[in-house]
Amino acid sequence: LAKTTQPISMDSYEGQEVNITCSHNNIATNDYITWYQQFPSQGPRFIIQGYKTKVTNEVASLFIPADRKSSTLSLPRVSLSDTAVYYCLVGDPYSGAGSYQLTFGKGTKLSVIP
Amino acid sequence: NAGVTQTPKFRVLKTGQSMTLLCAQDMNHEYMYWYRQDPGMGLRLIHYSVGEGTTAKGEVPDGYNVSRLKKQNFLLGLESAAPSQTSVYFCASSYSSFERGGAKNIQYFGAGTRLSVL
């Protein structure tokens, strides 16, 4: 089970680019990296997923270095509405033993300041 | 396409009462999950299901039971509610696709059920 480490909180001003890094030193060869966003009083929402190098969608970019021991979620020009908790998940949800192997942890609370 | 629907949205119980939370998904997903989230905490997995008729324990299963009689529904039961079960409960469903020998798993969440046990 790949353990992940993220900063507990981050602050940013509106219009800035925000980068949230997740460390996952024991990532397995076939593990994918997935990020979710959770607004207050709502369920988490999938943002982006990647395996290596760079992935970009309409919401964010995900940068994964060659050794894959970390990943960085990049949010361009954040607004107040990006204030949320961001979770990094790494691993295969179902191990060979059949037990579930993904956990959300506490995530990173991003506060965007006007 | 409603996605994942949870009922009820709010509920207040007295200690010892029982109740069932219903989760329904219309995405034909094989996998379904029940999480609880307490203030300042991340999501903790209660039970999950990898297909119709199957269930398995997650990280915090004690005091809860589940059933998956139909593929689209996943029920979470509290037989005798306790104040420690006051929480926000989230249901999720997912598909998994296998690429590069690994599983790409993306979960879709419901809006949550706020439960207070007095």
Number of A to B CB contacts under 8 A, please give it: 72
**pLDDT, tens digit, for every residue of B5-58?**
999 999 999 999 999 999 999 999 999 999 999 987 888 999 999 899 999 999
Report the chain B residue with the minimal C-alpha distance to residue A44: B109
How far off is chain B from A56, nearest CA to CA, in Å? Answer: 16
CA distances from A113 to A13, A20, A59, A75, B84 (A): 5, 16, 19, 15, 35
How far off is chain A from B26, nearest CA to CA, in Å? Answer: 17
Q: Which residue has the tokens 């024991």?
A: A26
Instruction: Answer for the pair B83, B118: CB distance below 8 angstroms, yes or no.
Output: yes
**Are A32 and B101 in contact (CB < 8 Å)?**
no
**pLDDT, tens digit, for every residue of A37-81?**
999 889 999 999 999 889 999 999 999 999 999 999 999 999 999
